[in-house]
């Protein structure tokens, strides 16, 4: 079955010259891409730079993207190639750190070996992540049955609005509205945790 | 400059855009709102963080980190030349077939027209068939579908000549005005060969 790519509207817009559309896709995929790169490159300090490089290379390669695969699949490949390229360049660098040189395995799980705490791994950052995860779970539990089912079917099961409408036996417009309201409710609980500090706005 | 109100229905459309379920609505205004409005950007980020966390808790990240990466990428994007590669992404197979059929139909029309209107000396073509004269009516500017059936004028069984019909072009008044304005094309005799401009077709009527 060939379901249409949910990213198609934004990708087409980006291909037509709208950089904003591409930025919106960055926000969508940055966490997944950083996690992927983090698995390939042990030195977590390198991750943001490689992620940045990945997205810029993807932007430049947009004309070559024709929709033969899903956008994320294509982006994933670019991330892997960018990470490998960075690792090769690091190998040639005499100042490369032990951690970076060791980062050639990509079959490990999400745990990182004990190393110097970096941005991602400081106790504060770890705590912030845990708090966010807890807040999301708590907020989902607090939703009404309908809203919880709608957001779960969409985000976890990956069903389309049409499929969800069939499952929940309601119109597609209702599905759309329920997913939206679920998002609003969860985001409201997250807001205190996500609040921007001075000078650090979206 | 007043901030455009990004009301509930616009927000709901943004939510649908996050799922690729805009159902034909162009994302342009959502993108413009995202660019101008920090609250819209915060919502977009929060919703996608929520989706990621629901699927996998290890994607819960320090939001400051997300913001920093996006800011860095935005700055670099500003340096990049604008990518222009419009044109729809690979269409589903069904749509491609439809396009192909329409192109094929157009080809048959043009080819059929050429076969029927073959002027001998630049004047309005008229060739008599041996023996009988097949009465024909002509219609200008027809739909391709009509033209397909019409343009396949059966070749005379007896003849080695390809052209069968006495053809008159009934000209479209609007087309005439257009052609008059573009004087180089005035009068079909100026065109040695009928062009696709002058869409015409012949329809066989049953001989009385």
Distance CA A54, CA A76 (A): 9
Contact residues, chain B, for A9 at CB < 8 Å: 17, 20, 22, 26-27
Contacts of B36 in chain A (CB under 8 A): none
Cα–Cα distance, A28 to B50 (Å, whole number): 11
- Chain B residue closest to A5 (CA)? B20
How do residues B15-36 score in pLDDT, each as one tens digit? 999 999 998 889 999 999 999 9
Domain assignment of residue B12, yes or no: yes
For residues B79-89, give the mean pLDDT: 81
> Are residues B93 and B183 located together in one domain of the fold?
no
User: What is the 8-class DSSP label of residue A5?
Assistant: P
Asked if the structure places residue B15 within a domain, the reply is yes
In Å, what is the CA distance from A15 to each residue of A25, B67, B110? 12, 24, 34
Q: Do both B190 and B119 map to the same domain? A: no
Same domain assignment for residues B55 and B118:
yes
Q: Tell which residue, A135, A131, A136, has the closest CA to residue A152.
A: A136
Tens digit of each residue's pLDDT (9 = 90 or more) over A23-65: 999 999 999 999 999 999 988 899 999 999 999 999 999 999 9
Structure tokens at A185: 């409710």
The minimal CB distance from B53 to the residues A48, A63, A133 is found for A133
B18 neighbourhood in chain A, CB within 8 Å: 28
Mean pLDDT (chain A, rounded):
87
Q: Say yes or no: A2 contacts chain B, CB-CB below 8 A.
A: yes
pLDDT of B32 reads: 95
| B80 and B106 housed in the same domain | yes
Asked if residues B198 and B169 have their Cβ atoms less than 8 Å apart, the reply is: yes
A88 to chain B, any CB pair closer than 8 A? The answer is no
B189 is a domain residue: yes
- pLDDT surpassing 50 at residue B103: yes
| Same domain membership, residue B51 and residue B12 | yes
- What DSSP string describes B102-138? HHHHHHHHHHHHHHH---SSSSS-B-PPSS----EEE
How far apart CA B98 and CA B167 sit, in angstroms, is 32
Give the pLDDT confidence score for residue B64 in this predicted structure.
Answer: 87
Mutation target to probe the A interface, by most A beta carbons within 10 A, among B45, B75, B87, B91 is B45
pLDDT of residue A194: 86
Percent of chain B with pLDDT over 70: 39
CB contact under 8 Å between A132 and B35, yes or no, is no
SS3 A177: helix
pLDDT value at residue A91: 78
Q: Are residues B123 and B97 in the same domain?
A: yes
Rounded to a whole number of angstroms, the distance from the CA of A10 to the nearest CA of chain B is: 7
Check whether B122 has a pLDDT greater than 70.
no
B158 within some domain: no
Is A93 an 8 Å CB contact of chain B? Answer: no
Given a cut of 90, is residue B149 above it in pLDDT? no
First and final CA of chain B: distance in angstroms? 76
Tens of pLDDT, residue by residue over B24-77, are 889 999 999 999 999 999 999 999 999 999 999 889 988 888 999 999 999 999
Distance, in Å, from the CA atom of A117 to the CA atom of B152, rounded to the nearest integer, reads 79
* Residue B73 covered by a domain: yes
Q: Is the pLDDT of residue B146 over 90?
A: no
Q: Examine the domain organization and report whether B32 and B102 are in the same domain.
A: yes
Domain count, chain B: 2
B184 occurs within a structural domain: yes
State what percent of residues in chain B have pLDDT above 90: 30
* CA distance linking residue A106 with residue A37, whole number of Å: 9
Q: Which helix (H) or strand (E) holds B200?
A: strand B200-204
Please name every residue paired with A90 in a beta bridge, in sequence order, or none if there are none: none
- For A179-202, letters b (16+ CB in 10 Å) and e give bbbbbbbbbeebeebbeeeeeeeb
For tokens 């209107």, the residue is: B117
Give the number of residues written for chain A: 202
Same domain, B7 and B71: yes
Taking contacts as CB-CB distances below 8 angstroms, the residues of chain A near B82 are 17, 19
Residue B207 lies in a domain: no
Average pLDDT, integer, range A9-33: 96
pLDDT tens per residue across span A136-189: 999 999 999 999 999 999 999 999 999 999 999 999 999 999 999 999 999 999
Name the phi and psi angles at B204, rounded to 5. Answer: -75, 125
For chain B, what is the mean pLDDT? Answer: 66
One domain, residues B124 and B171: no
More confident residue, B176 or B129: B176
B37/B118 same-domain check: yes
Q: Is residue B162 part of a domain?
A: no
Residue of A15, A25, A52, A183 to mutate when probing chain B, most B C-beta within 10 A: A183
Question: CB burial class (10 A; 0-12, 13-18, 19+) of residue B63?
Answer: buried
Name the more confident of B98 and A88: A88
How far apart are the C-alpha atoms of B132 and B163, rounded to whole Å?
Answer: 13
Partner-chain contact A180 B87, CB within 8 Å: no
Percent of chain A with pLDDT over 90: 69
Task: Choose among B50, B61, B72: nearest Cβ to A136.
Answer: B50
Residue range of the domain that includes B193: 167-202
Same domain? B103 vs B188: no
More confident residue, B118 or B41: B41
**Mean pLDDT across B169-191:** 57
Ranges B5-9, B76-80, B108-112, B178-182: which has the least confidence: B108-112
One domain, residues B51 and B124: yes
CA end-to-end span of chain A, whole Å?
38
């Amino acid at each position: 079955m060939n379901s249409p790519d949910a990213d198609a509207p934004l990708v087409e817009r980006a291909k037509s010259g709208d950089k904003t559309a591409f930025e919106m896709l960055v926000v969508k995929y940055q966490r997944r891409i950083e996690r992927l790169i983090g698995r390939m490159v042990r030195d977590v300090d390198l991750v943001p730079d490689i992620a940045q490089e990945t997205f810029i290379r993807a932007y430049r390669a947009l004309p070559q993207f024709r929709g033969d695969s899903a956008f994320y699949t294509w982006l994933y490949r670019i991330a892997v190639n960018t990470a490998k390229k960075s690792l090769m360049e690091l190998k040639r660098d005499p100042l490369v750190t032990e951690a970076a040189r060791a980062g050639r395995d990509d079959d490990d799980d999400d745990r990182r070996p004990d190393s110097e705490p970096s941005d991602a791994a400081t106790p504060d950052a770890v705590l912030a992540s845990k708090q966010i995860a807890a807040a999301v779970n708590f907020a989902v539990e607090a939703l009404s049955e309908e809203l919880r089912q709608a957001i779960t079917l969409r985000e976890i099961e990956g069903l389309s609005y049409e499929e969800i409408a069939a499952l929940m036996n309601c119109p597609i417009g209702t599905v759309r509205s329920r997913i939206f309201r679920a998002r609003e409710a969860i985001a409201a609980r997250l807001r205190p945790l996500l609040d921007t500090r001075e000078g650090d706005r979206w | 400059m007043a901030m455009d109100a990004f009301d509930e229905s616009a927000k709901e459309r943004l939510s649908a855009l996050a799922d690729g379920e805009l159902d034909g609505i162009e994302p342009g205004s959502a993108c413009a709102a995202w660019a101008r409005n920090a609250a819209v950007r915060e919502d977009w980020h929060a919703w996608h963080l929520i989706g990621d966390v629901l699927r996998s808790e290890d994607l819960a990240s320090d939001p400051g980190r997300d913001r920093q990466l996006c800011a860095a990428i935005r700055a670099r994007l500003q340096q990049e030349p604008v990518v222009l590669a419009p044109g729809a992404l690979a269409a589903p197979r069904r749509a491609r077939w439809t396009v192909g059929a329409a192109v094929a139909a157009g080809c048959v029309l043009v080819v059929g027209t050429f076969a029927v209107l073959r002027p001998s000396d630049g004047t309005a073509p008229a060739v008599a068939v041996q023996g009988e004269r097949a009465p024909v009516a002509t219609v200008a500017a027809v739909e391709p579908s009509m033209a397909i059936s019409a343009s396949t004028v059966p070749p005379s069984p007896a003849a080695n000549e390809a052209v069968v019909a006495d053809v008159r072009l009934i000209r479209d008044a609007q087309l005439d005005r257009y052609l008059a304005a573009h004087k180089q094309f005035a009068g079909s005799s100026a065109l040695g060969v009928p062009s696709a401009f002058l869409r015409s077709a012949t329809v066989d009527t049953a001989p009385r």
